[in-house]
A and B are shown apart, each in its own frame.
Chain A
């Protein structure tokens, strides 16, 4: 299974091109594929569409790809932490498709599961449902939303083995499991890459079949967006 193992982000990203759609795991700055984002920046790909719940902050996460103007379009549920984003969106440089968080999660899950669309109650009667099919089930209206797949999916896990089995840590799991299923090529970066057999099969969150490439990341910053603490008494 070692054909899945790459030495670093740069080699794991071979084949990324302009105009592609990239799915990027993480919630805020938690559980984002830091190494893949840096490698995407360094690859110089342009006019890309990024599907990710958030858009990072000005100088970290997907904000790095906004600074370099590599992103043409974002699909997100919340982009409020990023001033670069606001500037580029207001000037018309950047396209944005808002998607409710649960709908985004389900669209990714559906895409990876071979389901082209599904009906959800979320957003019925709002701008989000405009132009979309509405269908009634048992007297309630639902809106048709489509599954999403990406040319590449980038996820971050805590541990992974050489077959691509992944284990996430705490709330860094977030969007990563669905995104891992929804890439034509899924690249996983992990804090610790272990041998096949070292992970307990009962504890695996993403089975390795969904992962085409894996590498051990380096220099994780794991930046905290809102450091809230209580004083020791």
Chain B
């Protein structure tokens, strides 16, 4: 069985280290926050202008002036700070954010990512994604390994317009955990009830299986 969205998020949460400042994108990446243990001190950054994002407010305490990058009402935590979007992207572009987690339509074997437009369809915009992939020290992608017709989204070369070039370090897909190396995709872990060979077969780009590749514990 491929991983569920929650299992992908849970696995990514293991990559979050104590003391990290992390920016989580919309979708599966947002769920990562639910699995970061309270033993780790982690600051979540919201690119509209908040460091130290807290959980959703209790009913009746929503504040229209306090939202995250997904326009959801949120709260602050002790140690939070507010700032302008220019300062926010100085943090992002300037390499002050330890980890960014975001979704993707395609990632290719050199670590380029496409996640903002499909030609011929209405384009919503890239928001902060291009800045995040260009600036964060580490970028992990949460994605589905294949599209609904079974075609690989881990490509030899992205076919969709790019968001960033050679910027992705790691992918956690519903099929496994994959590192991007100078030699292409490197499979580190595969989903329970799958085999490493199945993941390899479902991948278009060049993939090698790590000698110590293991079954994921989820």
Task: Please give the residue numbers on chain A whose beta carbons come within 8 Å of chain B beta carbons, in ascending order.
Answer: 27-31, 53, 76-81, 86, 89-90, 98, 100-106, 108-109, 120-128, 158, 168-178, 205, 222-232
Contacts and interface: CB of A to CB of B under 8 A. Distances in A.
Nearest to B126: A100
Interface of B: 46-50, 55-68, 70-74, 76, 82-86, 88-89, 92-93, 112, 122-131, 134-135, 161-165
Given A77-B126, A223-B64, 14 more contacts: A98-B123, A101-B85, A104-B85, A109-B86, A125-B112, A126-B130, A128-B126, A170-B82, A171-B48, A171-B68, A174-B85, A177-B84, A224-B62, A224-B67
Contact of A173 (B63, B82, B112, B135): B82
Nearest to A229: B59
A123 B134 contact: yes
Contacts of A29: 64, 71
Contact of B93 (A76, A120, A175, A176): A120
A168 B63 CA distance: 14
B64 to A, nearest CB: 4
Contacts of A172: 64-65
28 contacts: A27-B85, A29-B71, A30-B65, A77-B126, A77-B127, A78-B127, A79-B125, A100-B126, A100-B127, A103-B131, A104-B85, A121-B93, A122-B134, A122-B135, A126-B163, A170-B50, A170-B63, A171-B50, A171-B65, A171-B67, A172-B65, A173-B49, A174-B49, A175-B84, A225-B71, A226-B67, A228-B74, A231-B58
Contact of A170 (B65, B70, B163): B65
B122 A89 contact: yes
Given A30-B67, A174-B48, A229-B59, A125 B128 contact: no
Contacts of A229: 56-62, 73
B47 A101 contact: yes
A86 B161 contact: no
A81 to B, nearest CB: 8
Given A30-B71, A77-B126, A103-B131, A174 B84 contact: yes
Given A101-B89, A123-B134, A224 B64 contact: yes
A228 B72 contact: yes
A77 B165 contact: no
Given A122-B93, A122-B135, A230-B56, A175 B85 contact: yes
A232 B85 CA distance: 32
Nearest to B80: A170
A77 B161 contact: no
Nearest to A28: B71
B16 to A, nearest CB: 22
A27 B134 CA distance: 22
Contacts of B48: 27-28, 30, 171, 174
A227 to B, nearest CB: 6
Contacts of B123: 98
